[in-house]
Structure 1
Amino acid sequence: MDHPKEAPHADVSAVAALDEPTRRRLYDHVVRQPGPVSRDEAAAALGLALRTAAFHLERLADESLLDVVYERRSGRTGPGAGRPAKLYKRSTKQVTVSLPERNYELAGRLLAQALEESEDTGEPVRTVLHRKAHELGTWLAGQDHTGVFDLLERYGFEPRHDGEVIVLGNCLFHALAREHTQTVCGMNLHLLRGVLHGLDEDRLQACLAPAPGRCCVRLEPAS
């Protein structure tokens, strides 16, 4: 039997850096924002001293978990515009322990089940896949008796509110969705519809709304 390779030291160090509770809260806050975050904004959002927030944000940047960018928040340029603000955002580096979270095993299981049942019954594979995904979403909802936002957060979708809409900042099937968009996004759509069904959440509906840097599905107020 093949043994899994050891994670590179840099990745282990990066994950270890998140073991500190305040640092993890800061990381989670930054990656859930639609744009880069300043030290002042992060400190205010989490009720931290500015010095504490700055220390932990720098540690996250040192571990390549966050990228540092500089932008002028005033919108002015040229002399007198002031120094650009130091901002933090999610790093472009992907850690091998999967931050952001991916779940390719889940996708593989659903696709395999759909293929096998289709071969046995003659029903179209895509139809079976959508039904299996919906059933799984309903089952997940039955295991978690919290609200839809907390459930999505627990399973790594990184939800955030955008007005009355819930946007999902992370796609659990990112690489597959890029190469097999129609199949994987359709599966994800029915998975999330199953979640809403399982929670008896009739105030929201799952809709396809592809956009760069986020999940192809978002939850909108029901018509």
Structure 2
Amino acid sequence: MEQGWDEHQALASRSRAALLDVLRANGGAMGVDELAESVGLHVNTTREHLDRLVSAGLVSRAPEHRTTRGRPRILYRHREPEGARVRNVIDGVLLAGYGHAMASPSATAELAGRQAAGDLIPEGLLERARTPQEARRILVTELERLGFAPRDEGDGLRLCRCPVESLARERSEVVCAAHLGMTSALVERIGQLEVLDATPFIDGESCIVRLRPTRVIEEGTAQVPGEGTAQVQGA
């Protein structure tokens, strides 16, 4: 997984937590001078803290749009962390299973992940593919939006970040099964591909979900595997 500032590290500082609170309460974009005054810090110190919050994905920054001459200010605003929707789904999966006896936690989590896929990407907001290559592109785009940081490596797609990595390492039989269910449901909705299997943390860092193209023999009949396979690596 990519190394960088995560949410917990970024909020370990009271000053950074205070800056985030100000941005949340404001709801809009703010300049560094305004933020520094709000929390009682020097502008340079404030800028360093904001850099950490941006690195953790808790704050976004962009140049101010100006209609007059002059160097535009850099404005900051609060943003929902990448992968927040995935974390919410996993929390729901874990809470739903708490206190209930089940024959297979992994199978139950995979089913729950499938059912939660519609909450992540509602019907009508997921593009339908016409070719396996297009399906791969759509899947990469959606996984990026969900916070997995996919990277195309030619022979596969590497997911460089897991929104719930620490939890996945502790309870991979539940978390990774839920991820598999979510991914399988999304792949089926996109079309042209099918999930073969998944291996979590195969190299200690990334997981592999194997995919292969599907093709329709005749209209109204089931799809059967096409020739060749493609690999998607990730958490």
TM-score normalised by the chain length of structure 2: 0.47
Greater per-residue strand proportion: 2
Name the larger-Rg structure: 2
TM-score normalised by the chain length of structure 1: 0.49
